């Protein structure tokens, strides 16, 4: 001989194609044995993409342990058995990959879709290798919406309801076994404002509208409830529109009783719903 080489690599899993993998930070034990007359010389060698490293040799048995697996220990591990007299040699090469799960929890978000009035729920779980898988469900009830590596799921019109909840579960090949999850809940906007404001002729006044609870974020518009349909107010030399996060302001310059007195409307709208609130402006 040797006619065979028996290799055992512990603390690893196996892919469908036979490639072995180990979790980053774990201990992996390697052992190799063979039989020949005289006893064969056994040798382990590690072949990384950029280097080759011998792990020592011995007669009849050769074993060692790597205590903290890291990504630079990913590569091909070859055990060879050589008859020291005849030179006959047998080799077994095993590819070993090093995997690790993302260090933090997944993050869920809602994004605009390419179609009109549609949304996508997106799940991000970065920092692991290889990429995780994602499963989206409707809650409560756990109705499965889709499973993919992209983590993106398009919502249809019937799912765009206030309070609708969606859950993403990310699973990775090295754990955790129960996966990791995050949740998004759709919310239509709520509005808060002062119902009445007063301006003096020739002066300036600012109307304020605060949006809360909207998810995804809402688009805010100011309208004049003077015509039907209501006309959208644009920024001009007479009207200044500003926005700071969820707060929107409409400043009216050089107030005129004939032009400016009356109802103003703050409208907030997202894909889930729309809210309007009236503000009465009195010009004195």
Q: Mind giving me the DSSP string for 167-222?
A: EEEEE-TT--TT-EEEEEE-B--EEEE-SEEEE-TT--EEEEEEEES-BSPPEEEE
Distance CA 40, CA 5 (A): 10
Cβ atoms within 10 Å of 36's Cβ, excluding its own = 22
- Residue 259: phi, psi to the nearest 5? -85, -35
Evaluate if residue 54 carries a pLDDT over 90.
no
Q: What is the pLDDT of residue 48?
A: 86
Q: Regarding the domain delimited by 107-185, which CATH topology (the fold level of the hierarchy) does it fall under?
A: Immunoglobulin-like (2.60.40)
Looking at the whole model, is its pTM more than 0.85? Answer: no
Which DSSP symbol is given to 141?
T
Q: What Å distances lie between residue 246 and 119, 139, 219, CA to CA?
A: 20, 28, 9
* Lowest-pLDDT range of 13-17, 51-55, 104-108: 51-55
Evaluate if residue 263 carries a pLDDT over 80.
yes
| pLDDT mean over 5-9 | 94
Q: What pLDDT band is residue 207 in, cutting at 50, 70 and 90? A: very high
Task: Give the β-pairing of 196-199 and 274-283.
Answer: parallel
Question: Is residue 135 within 8 Å of 144, Cβ to Cβ?
Answer: yes
Range list for CATH 2.60.40.10 in the chain: 6-99, 107-185, 190-283
For residue 114, give the 3-state DSSP assignment: coil
Termini Cα distance of the chain: 109
Evaluate if residue 127 carries a pLDDT over 90.
yes
Which DSSP symbol is given to 4?
-
Q: What is the pLDDT of residue 25?
A: 94
Question: Is residue 252 within 8 Å of 199, Cβ to Cβ?
Answer: yes
Report the share of the chain in percent with pLDDT over 70: 97
The residue assigned the tokens 């929890």 is: 105
Q: What is the pLDDT of residue 115?
A: 58
Evaluate if residue 227 carries a pLDDT over 80.
no
Q: What is the pLDDT of residue 195?
A: 94
Residues paired with residue 28 on neighbouring β-strands, in sequence order? 66
| pLDDT mean over 95-115 | 88
Question: Is residue 42 within 8 Å of 62, Cβ to Cβ?
Answer: yes
The residue among 43 and 54 whose pLDDT is bigger is 43
| pLDDT mean over 95-116 | 87
The CATH code for residues 6-99 is 2.60.40.10
Please give the CATH superfamily to which domain 190-283 belongs: Immunoglobulins (2.60.40.10)
Q: What pLDDT band is residue 60 in, cutting at 50, 70 and 90? A: low
Q: What is the pLDDT of residue 118?
A: 77
């Amino acid at each position: 001989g040797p006619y065979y080489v028996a290799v055992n690599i512990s603390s690893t899993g196996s892919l469908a194609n036979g490639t072995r993998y180990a979790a980053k930070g774990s201990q992996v034990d390697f052992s190799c044995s063979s039989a020949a007359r005289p006893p064969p010389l056994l040798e382990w060698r590690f072949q990384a993409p950029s280097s080759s490293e011998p792990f020592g040799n011995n007669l009849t048995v050769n074993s060692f342990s790597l205590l903290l697996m890291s990504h630079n220990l990913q590569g091909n591990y070859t055990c060879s058995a050589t008859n020291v007299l005849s030179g006959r040699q047998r080799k077994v090469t095993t590819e070993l990959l090093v995997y690790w799960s993302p260090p933090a929890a997944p993050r869920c978000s809602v994004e605009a879709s390419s179609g009109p009035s549609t949304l996508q729920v997106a799940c991000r779980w970065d920092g692991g290798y290889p990429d995780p898988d994602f499963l989206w469900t409707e809650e409560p009830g756990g109705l499965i919406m889709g499973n993919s590596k992209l983590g993106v799921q398009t919502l249809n019109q019937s799912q765009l309801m206030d309070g609708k909840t969606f859950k993403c579960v990310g699973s990775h090949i090295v754990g955790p076994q129960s996966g990791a999850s995050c949740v998004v809940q759709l919310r239509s906007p709520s509005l808060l404002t002062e119902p009445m404001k007063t301006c003096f002729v020739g002066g300036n006044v600012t109307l304020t509208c605060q949006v809360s609870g909207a998810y995804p974020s809402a688009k805010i518009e100011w309208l004049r409830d003077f015509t039907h349909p209501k006309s959208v107010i644009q920024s001009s030399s007479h009207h200044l529109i500003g926005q700071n996060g969820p707060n929107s302001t409409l400043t009216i310059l050089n107030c005129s009783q004939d032009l400016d007195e009356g109802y103003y409307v703050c409208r907030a709208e997202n894909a889930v719903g729309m809210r309007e609130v009236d503000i009465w402006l009195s010009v004195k």
